[in-house]
């Protein structure tokens, strides 16, 4: 299978802390890859190097064979690496469809100041994106009045405005109720299938990861300790050890959390 993303020997230290310590992984088109690991494992640092927000100390990140290291975040975004952003407070007063229109205009490189003159611009395209995330019927409502799970759907539509080849989602379901989590991840999976997009996501709920990831990679203290399909990872002794110490399993932890 041809690889969309190829990461080799990627490393980043903060002072004496090796946040990411020489990791290798690949991601194929149409794949939903979960990056998991305990707190401080280096997940967000990895994300921020891929999207260009954080300069890597060493290694290589190839997107369709093109090196991303040393490129600016905006350039990487233009090459097709998207990420979900929280809708900023200033945009919460805009309607759902206006928020997506803004994102589409930004993708075209139009100036923010042109927005008001181009009020109807991209409306059809924005509504089509909202339809894909199940939010078309709420298009004219201000984002500020939406339920939390619906805001997350709009954020996903905004990320889609750039037609990303690779979408990065750092803890997309944080703060959501279990049912909303499942619904957002099911939607993400649908977008991966429909658009042939790839998604790299982090997630602390193992139920969500095991239900939706095609493949998983596991970081601990900046090192990649395991890689495989969810069932392989679930039973991986090294993974169980870093998460729970010896003798405990994911199932026990999930029960403890929901109790
Ligand atoms: N800007 C920074 N300055 C100094 N140290 C940092 C910085 N960012 C991350 N670190 C350190 O690097 C390590 C990895 O952090 P990172 O945020 O990547 O972990 P994470 O896996 O995303 O954790 P979490 O699950 O809590 O989000 C941690 O030890 C953290 O304290
Ligand atoms: Mg993090």
pLDDT band at 252 (very low <50, low <70, confident <90, very high): very low
Q: Ligand 1 atom 16: the closest Cα is on which residue?
A: 42
pLDDT digits (tens, 9 = 90+) for 6-36: 999 999 999 999 999 999 999 999 999 999 9
Distance of CA 89 to the CA centre of its chain: 21
pTM of the model: 0.89
Residue 255 confidence (pLDDT): 44
End-to-end Cα spacing for the chain: 42
How far is 95 from 240, CA to CA, in rounded Å?
A: 45
The answer to whether residue 202 scores a pLDDT higher than 90 is yes
Distances (CA, A) of 172 to 6, 60, 108, 169: 23, 26, 26, 6
Strands 81-83 and 166-170: parallel
Q: Tell me if 216 sits within 8 A of 228, measured CB to CB.
A: yes
Taking residues 163-167, what's their average pLDDT?
Answer: 95
Nearest Cα residue to 224 out of 86, 93, 55, 41:
41
Residues 6+ apart with CB under 8 A from 233: 36, 216, 218, 226, 239
Cβ(218) – ligand 1 distance below 6 Å? no
Residue found by looking up tokens 């042109």 in the block: 114
Cβ(19) – ligand 1 distance below 6 Å? yes
Q: Ligand 1 atom 5: the closest Cα is on which residue?
A: 14
Strands 215-220 and 223-228: antiparallel
Nearest Cα residue to 221 out of 61, 60, 15, 13:
13
Cβ(16) – ligand 1 distance below 6 Å? no
The answer to whether residue 259 scores a pLDDT higher than 50 is no
Nearest Cα residue to 225 out of 209, 241, 239:
239
* Mean predicted lDDT score pLDDT of the chain: 88
Q: Could you tell me where the beta strands, DSSP code E, fall in the chain?
A: 3-14, 17-28, 32-36, 58-63, 66-67, 81-83, 166-170, 198-202, 215-220, 223-228
Secondary structure element (H or E) that encloses residue 187, with its range = helix 178-195
Note the ligand closest to the C-alpha atom of 37.
1
How far is 239 from 235, CA to CA, in rounded Å?
A: 8
Cβ(55) – ligand 1 distance below 6 Å? no
The answer to whether residue 102 scores a pLDDT higher than 90 is no
Taking residues 75-102, what's their average pLDDT?
Answer: 87
3-class state of residue 22 by DSSP: strand
Note the ligand closest to the C-alpha atom of 46.
1
The CA-based dihedral angle spanning residues 149, 150, 155, 160, taken in that order and rounded to the nearest 10 degrees:
110
Residue 235 confidence (pLDDT): 86
Note the ligand closest to the C-alpha atom of 53.
1
Residue 79 confidence (pLDDT): 95
Residue 240 confidence (pLDDT): 85
Distance of CA 231 to the CA centre of its chain: 22
């Amino acid at each position: 299978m041809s690889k969309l993303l190829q990461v080799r020997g990627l490393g980043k230290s903060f002072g004496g802390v090796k946040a990411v310590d020489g990791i290798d992984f690949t991601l194929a088109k149409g794949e939903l890859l979960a990056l998991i690991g305990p707190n401080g494992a280096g997940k967000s640092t990895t994300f921020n190097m891929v999207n260009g927000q954080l300069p890597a100390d060493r290694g290589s990140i190839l997107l369709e064979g093109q090196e991303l290291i040393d490129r600016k975040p905006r350039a990487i975004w233009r090459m097709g690496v998207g990420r979900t952003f929280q809708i900023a407070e200033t945009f919460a007063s805009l309607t759902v469809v206006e928020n997506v229109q803004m994102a589409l205009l930004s993708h075209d490189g139009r100036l923010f100041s042109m927005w008001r003159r181009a009020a109807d611009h991209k409306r059809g395209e924005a509504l089509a994106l909202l339809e894909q995330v199940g939010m078309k019927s709420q298009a004219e409502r201000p984002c500020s009045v939406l339920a939390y799970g619906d805001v997350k759907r709009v954020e996903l539509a905004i990320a889609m405005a750039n037609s990303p080849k690779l979408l990065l989602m750092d803890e997309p379901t944080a703060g959501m109720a279990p049912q909303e989590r499942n619904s957002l991840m099911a939607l993400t999976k649908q977008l991966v299938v429909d658009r042939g997009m790839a998604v790299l996501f982090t997630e602390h709920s193992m139920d969500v990861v095991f239900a939706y990831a095609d493949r998983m990679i596991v970081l601990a203290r900046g090192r990649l300790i395991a890689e495989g399909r969810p069932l392989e990872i679930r039973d991986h002794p090294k993974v169980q050890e870093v998460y729970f110490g010896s003798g405990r399993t994911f199932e026990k932890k999930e029960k403890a959390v929901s109790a």
